Each structure stands twice: as structure tokens, then as C-alpha cells.
Structure 1
Amino acid sequence: MADTNRGVVYMGPGTVEVQTTDYPSFVLRDGPGVHPDSVGRECNHGVILRIVSTNICGSDQHMVRGRTTAPEGLILGHEITGEVIERGRDVEYIDEGDLVSVPFNIACGRCRNCKERKTGICLNTNPARPGAAYGYVDMGGWPGGQARYVMVPYADFNCLKFRDKEQALAKILDLTMLSDIFPTGYHGCVTAGVTTGSTVYIAGGGPVGLAAAHGAQLLGAAVVIVGDLIPERLAQAKSFGCETIDVSRGDPGEQIEQLLGVPEVDCGVDAVGFEARGHGEHASEELPATVLNSLMGLTRAGGALGIPGLYVTGDPGAHTDAAKEGSLSIRIGLGWAKSHVFTTGQCPVMRYNRELMEAILGDRCQIARAVNATVITLDDAPQGYRDFDRGAAKKFVLDPNGLIPA
């Protein structure tokens, strides 16, 4: 008999609750956000996981703040690590008992984009548009993983197996970051051109910004600068060797010049997204184009901007009609004049997660320390969301089944 499932449910702007939810099956049921064409979809290529660790993400927070069109009743959570307890009849290479990391992108492995390693925009897993994810608005309605159990489709393709279960459990707070923020931050740096000797400015000191900063260090950057408004987050960035800028004090370029001797960097990373605030005297105002325009100003001519920060096509809480549909006043002429390269969109997690796993297991990085991984129970998730919303310099890791070693 199936065990009781419980999950974190979005109840409307500002509210999440932990509720009893359906135990997962290999058929996609009707529910919040599920596209009608997907109802009844058979997933015999999937596995059911007992969740070992699942994390609260800044992208979840956008939904909980009411800044997306997320439907009420959605089970949240797209950062998933778990143990396989049941596999569908068509799964060949993943076995019961395996401990696996699950990319937040749900990918079929069969379409043109998946075959080109663009797994963030799979063409088959979401009838509404390219790209699917667990527990996320407009991403197919797949139930999320901030729960005790979840179903993962296309398991042979999507699951990254840890070859040594005991070793993986000992490093679970690092390995849990492979499902999203570590590859996402790293992707921001790779697409910004970070390499040996680079100077890098990362806008945003939340978990993705801190992951990007650690990723830049792993890539060999000479100087990594993190900008934010919240002192606690700046202190966390300093704790692992980053320079910091308090953007409430004014223009980042002037502060960068004080650090580097020039008001520009080689590489710019936007780890803030569409809820950006202004600089200096405008720090209390929401100005969603601020970060992109600032990065164009302070990234050298011929440089690149990695943009892992989230931008949406529907923002009911925006302050202008244009911003409500994702139209921002971006100085594209400046970026054009400086021959900047822009890379946007979801990180294709599978492009990076295996190599980052090896870096973690080989003790080449300490991502959990960098993002201040903090374990809480499933029942504490609502408080975790409130603390995160207040700017806590922590990456909250949920332990739904009490499986994370003390």
C-alpha cells in the first residue's frame, strides 16, 4: 500500500501550506497547471522517488509573492534529490535503491532540442510551450518535489545516479545543489565568458548569485565581486573570498573602480531577475531593468552577460502595464554598441551537473558552505519561505523523510 504523501502547496499570494497530497503514480493526473493535453499521460518511463533533500528556490519565492500566474493548489519544488523506490516498466538503467539527482528541467531526451543538449526547452514535456519543470508556473503542471515522494518521468535520461550511495549521503548538502542553483549559477558564469584571470561582477547575493560566485572561482576568475542590498548576503559572499558592493550606496561602476582601478569588468552575471530594485537613492524602488542596464554599463566592450536571473512573460504584481507582460526599458543600443553577447533562459542543467558532481566528490568545491545550506523539516517550510522572503542569507534544504545525516 502506498505511503502517505505530504507536500508544500501554494495557496495564493504570500501563503504556502504543508498538506496531504496524492501519492505519485505513473499517470499524470489533472490538477493545478496541468495542460488538458497532458491529463492521462502515461509515464511508464518514470520512477517514483522517496525525497532525500529538496530545496527552496528564489524562483519558488517569485510565485509565492504572487508575482507570477501560478495557480493555487500547485505543489511546489523543482530542486530534487531522492532514492528510487519504484520504477516504471520501461525504465532500463535506473534501479530501485539508486540515489539520484534530478535536473529541474524535465526533458524527454528524444526531441531536437534535447538531442542538441538544450534540455531547458524540451519540445515534448509541456504542450503549452517549450520547457517543463516540476512544481512551476507555466511549465506543464508536473507535481513538485517539496514533498515526501515525487514521480520523475523519462528517468533513464533525467536521473543522475550517484555511484557510491554512502559517499553521496555524506556530501548530500553539496550534491543537493546539483538539481538547480549550482549548474544555474555556473551556467551564468560560463555564458558570461568567465575563465582564468577574469574579473567578474555578479548582481545579486541570493543563493543563485552565491552559487555563481563560487562557480566563477571554480572557473579560475581572478576577482569575483558580488553586489546586493542586504548586508547579511554580502557578509556571506565575503566568507568565501568574494569582494562585495553594497548597491544601496550608489552606482556599482564607481565602487568597482575603487576595487579594480577601472569602472568595468570582463564578465557580468544577472542573478537578480525581474524583481530588481534600483541603486543608491532608488534602492527602495522596484526598477526591473536596473540590473540589465547596469551590467551593460559596467561590462567591457566585447564582453558577455550571463542572465540566469528569471524574467517572466506574466507578472500581475508589476508596477507598469508593460512590465506585467515582461516588456522592460532595456538600453539595447548600449549593448549593441559594446558588442555584448547576452545569454538568457533556463540553465540546461544536464550540460553541467555531471562535471559539477565530480568536482564536489573530488573536493574541488564546497557549494553548500558558499550558499550557507540550512536544513529544515518539511513542516518548517512555510517559515523557511518567510525567512527567505526577508532576505536571509541561507539556502533552505528540506528534509521531508528525515534521511539527511545529522
Structure 2
Amino acid sequence: MPGNKAVAYLAPGRVEVQDTDYPEFQLKDGPGVHPANVGRKVRHGAIVKTIATNICGSDQHMVRGRTTAPPGLILGHEITGEVVETGPDVEFTKAGDLVSVPFNISCGRCRNCKEGKTGICENVNPDRPGSAYGYVDMGGWVGGQAEYVLVPYADWNLLKFPDRDQAMEKILDLAMLADIFPTGYHGCVTAGVGTGSTVYIAGAGPVGLAAATSAFLLGAAVVIVGDLNEDRLAQARRFGCETADVSKGEPKDQIEQILGVPEVDCAVDAVGFEARGHGAEAGVERPATVLNSLMDLTRAGGAIGIPGLYVTGDPGAADEAAKQGSLSLRLGLGWAKSHAFFTGQCPVMRYNRQLMMAILHDRVRIAEAVNATPIPLTEAPQGYADFDQGAARKYVLDPHGLLGSA
């Protein structure tokens, strides 16, 4: 049996690559594992050899100490790899399959899964609907920033790439299918982006850039990306976006300079609960700033997609209300303008096959848009540090050195 190495959260600002257990078809006790899941048999699972596993902004929230994540939690929910072993109840998935692993863990059997709401599966997390690999309060499924990872309900969850050689040629693009590409796409779909739309996307991190790419794929006429980080704004401009530097003032005023009117048809929040203020308050944490500004700049009758993460527990929040996930929202404004709001985990399986086909047939270059940058697993701590400092990159960990010159 091979060994295994994985990235573990130790304390705020600290991660470490550790020797850890090779996966088995049964959940063991460990950091973050829900007691009701300990001993759970996973006869329906597959063990995946990780080819690519990404550092996500959601991981960064935990590493900053902004969640209740326990020390020792193995991180990572954006996984692409090769099946090396299957459990006795797996029928269709085979060793050697090259696959994308949706970050949502879902059973395929419950009411929500059957309705396509795989982000809120009822059977994988004893605390509440919805689960993910290596994430706080998500049931304790071990993360995939590792050499090997266990994937439950393999026949249901895994997306097989149709041709191995073709997939390896586009592996950095395909690595975005586990989370950020479907998540950005979901933000745009739920915001109503379509042919000729004008779109504002708050946040030029990887999810925001994935949303901007998705907006063009959906036919948007103008895509405006707002952020405080000039390097990330420059990355957005490289593939045709207009940009708004919100450190210089409200995005609404900059939108008017671009469009001639101070509003857009559709808006996407790709920032989440660690939002900063605009203009003079650019360095100050203001968790409701983005949502309130989106209500202000979205046309009456428009919709706001919210793939940005919001949490129920934030020990590092700026005020007591925010520590419980309570924000000072101008809901009256959104109500008066008849806005629609769409929140929650992206149901990855709703989109990943179609987006895979767009990648394989050269309709989109998502890795280039988000500046996907492979690094060895051993460099994960530095990758986390650089990403936390605002690097305009999407770091892709390469545990087995298989990404080559991708």
C-alpha cells in the first residue's frame, strides 16, 4: 500500500504538508469528522490518485482563522485525478478512469439530489444538508490536497473525461471543473446573464474571473469586474473585461463612466463575507458592502447571483453580529427594486459536463483566464501565503509531478 501526504491546517496562517493515512473504504475519526460519520462504510466509493488539486479562496478563509475549522483538518475540495481502486458496490467506475470530482459530496438518492440540488444533499453531513471535502462543518470527509483521496458514491459523483490523452493536454482547464468554473457559471446563470447582458462582477479572484469568463460564454455584451487589487484587475482586462477599482470609489460611478448609465442588468457577488469597504473605507472590513452595492447598481427587476461564501460562524468578524453571520443588509432596497437573490453552494453536477465539453472543444480557456499556476504539493504553504497576499493566480497543486509543462 502506498503512503500518502496531505496539506493540513494547523493554526491561523499555518498549513503544513504531513504524512497521513492512505484512504480506506471507511471513515475514521479525525479532525473535523462528525461523530455520526465515524465508522461509516464507503463500499460505494473510489480511491483517486490526485493529478491536480487547487487552493481555493474558501480554503483561505479557514487558514486565516475566519472559521471554526479544527487544527489538523486536511484541506482541499478541488480535485482532479485517476481512479486507482473501487469499493465492492461500485459498478461503472473503473480503475484508470481520469475524472473530475465535484466539490459537493452528494449521494444521488435523496430528494435534493434527485432534484439536481447536489449542494444540499441530505445524506452526507449529519449536521445539515450539504457537504464538501476538507471543509469545516461539512461532515468531516477528508480533503483532497493530498496524493490520494476517497470519493464516496463514485458512480454518481465522478465525471469521467472521455479521452485520456486529450484530457491531459487540457488538464489545467479541466482542473477548474471541480469548483470555480461551475461556481462562476452558476453565479451568472442565477443572475440571469444572457445574450447582450451588461454584467457587474464583484471580486477579481479566481471565482470572479471564472464568473467573468462564464458571462462571455453566456453571451454578455459587457462584463465589468470590480476589485481592490490592481494585479487581479489587470488579469481581468487580459481577456476583455472592463474593470472598476473600488479603492477609488463606488462601483456604480465607474459603471456609469463605462456604460453611460449607473446600473447593469445582472450582478454577481464573488467576494463573500470578508468584503472590504469602497473608496475611503477600502482597507476596512465591511461584510455587507458588496451585497448592498449590488442592490444599488442592479436594475429594477434584475437578479443577483451570490456564489461568494457566507458563513454561520466567523470568530474573526469585525462585530458580534457578523460573528453569527448577521449582516446589515439594505433588504428594503432590494425589495423595492424587486431583485431576486440566489445563494448557496453551486450544484456542480448541473454544469460540469457541459463545461467540460466547452473546454475539450476549445470554446473556452478558463485556465488562462484565472492564471492557473502549477506548484508541487511541497510548496503548498508558500502558495497559501502568496494567495493570501493577493497573487493574481490560481494555484494548482501537483502531488505526483504529472502536470508536466501544463
State how far apart, in whole Å, the 2-side matches of 1:180 and 1:315 are: 22
- C-alpha separation in 1, matches of 2:49 and 2:312: 34
Q: Is 1:246 matched up with 2:245?
A: yes
Structure 2 counterpart of 1:267, one-letter code = C
Q: Could you tell me how far 1:186 is from its partner in structure 2? A: 0.4
Is 1:46 aligned to residue 41 of structure 2? no
Q: Which amino acid counterpart does residue 220 of structure 1 have in structure 2?
A: G
Q: 2: distance between equivalents of 1:209 and 1:241?
A: 14
Q: Distance in 1 between matches of 2:11 and 2:25?
A: 28
Determine the C-alpha separation between the residues in 2 that align with 1:309 and 1:177.
Answer: 16
State how far apart, in whole Å, the 1-side matches of 2:204 and 2:26 are: 39
Letter in 1 for 2:292: N
Quick check: 1:102 aligned with 2:101? yes
Aligned to 2:270: 271
How many residue pairs were aligned?
A: 405
1:291 correspondence with 2:290: yes
Question: Do the aligned partners of 1:34 and 1:142 also contact (CA within 8 Å) in 2?
Answer: yes
Q: Which string of whole-angstrom CA distances, capped at 9 and with x for unpartnered residues, describes residues 84-110 of structure 1?
A: 000000001110000000000000000
Q: Is 1:170 paired with 2:148?
A: no
Which amino acid is the alignment partner of residue 348 of structure 1?
Answer: P
Q: Is the 8 A contact 1:278 1:285 kept in 2?
A: yes
CA distance in 1, matches of 2:253, 2:164: 49
1:324 aligns with 323
CA distance in 2, matches of 1:21, 1:12: 18
Amino acid at match of 1:306: G
Question: How far apart, CA to CA, are the structure 2 residues paired with 1:10 and 1:405?
Answer: 27
Query: Hey, what does 2:193 align to over in structure 1?
Result: 194
- State the partner residue of 2:376: 377
| Separation (CA, whole Å) in 1 of partners of 2:342 and 2:9 | 30
Using the alignment, how far apart are the partners of 1:248 and 1:211 within structure 2? 22
**Counterparts of 2:262 and 2:279 in 1: how far apart (Å)?**
17
Conserved 8 A contact 1:92-1:156: yes
* SS at structure 2 position matched to 1:42: coil
Deviation string, structure 1 residues 370-398 (Cα, Å, up to 9, x no partner):
00000000000000000000000000000
RMSD: 0.4
Which residue is 2:56 aligned to? 57
Query: What residue number does 1:9 align with?
Result: 8
**Kept after mapping to 2: 8 A contact 1:169/1:405:** no
Where does residue 135 of structure 1 map in the other structure? 134
Instruction: Output one character per residue of 1:154-206: Cα deviation in whole Å (capped at 9) or x when no partner.
Output: 00000000010110011000000000000000000000000000000000000
Q: Supply the distance in 2 between the matched residues of 1:405 and 1:187 (Cα, whole angstroms).
A: 31
Task: Identify the residue that residue 19 of structure 1 maps to in structure 2.
Answer: 18
Whether the 8 Å CA contact 1:170–1:405 is kept in 2: the answer is no
Equivalences for residues 281-360 of structure 1 within 5 A? 281-360=280-359
C-alpha distance in structure 1 between counterparts of 2:107 and 2:71, whole Å = 27
Which AA in structure 2 matches 1:374?
Answer: T
Secondary structure, aligned partner of 1:383: helix
Q: Does residue 237 in structure 1 map to residue 239 in structure 2?
A: no
Q: Deviations over 1:12-44 (max 9, x none)?
A: 111000000111000000011111111100001
Deviation at 1:405, TM superposition (A): 2.8
Cα distance in 2 for residues equivalent to 1:252 and 1:125: 40
Residue of structure 1 in register with 2:73 after alignment:
74
SS at match of 2:231: helix
1:192-231 equivalences under 5 Å are: 192-231=191-230
Query: What's the secondary structure of 2:364's corresponding residue?
Result: coil
1:404, distance to aligned residue in structure 2 (A): 1.1
Contact 1:200 1:268 in 2 (8 A): yes
Q: 2:84 maps to which residue?
A: 85
TM superposition shift of 1:319: 1.2
Between the aligned partners of 1:244 and 1:106, the Cα distance in structure 2 is 35
Runs of 4+ in 1 over 4 A off after TM superposition: none
Alignment partner, residue 183 of structure 2: 184
> Following the alignment from structure 1 to structure 2, what is the Cα–Cα distance between the partners of residues 169 and 152?
21
State the identity %: 75
* Counterpart position of 2:399: 400
**CA offset digits 1:203-257 (Å, max 9, x no partner):** 0000000000000000000000000000100000000000000000001101000
1:271-310, CA deviations, whole angstroms, 9 ceiling, x for partnerless residues?
A: 0000000000000100000000000000000000000000
Instruction: Note the alpha carbon deviations across 1:64-95, whole angstroms, 9 max, x for none.
Output: 00000001100000000010000000001110
SS of the residue aligned with 1:27?
coil
The one-letter code sitting in structure 2 at the alignment partner of 1:183 is P
Do structure 1's residue 36 and structure 2's residue 35 form an aligned pair? Answer: yes
8 Å CA contact 1:200–1:223 kept in 2: the answer is: yes
Q: Distance in 1 between matches of 2:50 and 2:354?
A: 23
CA distance in 1, matches of 2:324, 2:261: 37
- Deviation per CA, 1:128-166: give whole Å up to 9, x if none: 110010000000100000000000000000000001011
* Paired amino acid for 1:19: Q
Q: Which moved more, 1:297-306 or 1:28-37?
A: 28-37
Distance in 2 separating the partners of 1:386 and 1:325:
27
TM-score normalised over the length of structure 1: 0.99
Question: Counterpart in 1 of 2:364?
Answer: 365
Opposite residue 404 of structure 2, the aligned amino acid is P
Query: Could you tell me which residue of structure 1 aligns to residue 117 of structure 2?
Result: 118
Task: Give the TM-score taking structure 2 as reference length.
Answer: 0.99
Question: Residues 310-368 of structure 1: CA distance to partner in whole angstroms, max 9, x if unpaired?
Answer: 00000000011100000000000000000000000000000000000000001000000
Aligned equivalents of 1:295 and 1:319: distance in 2?
21
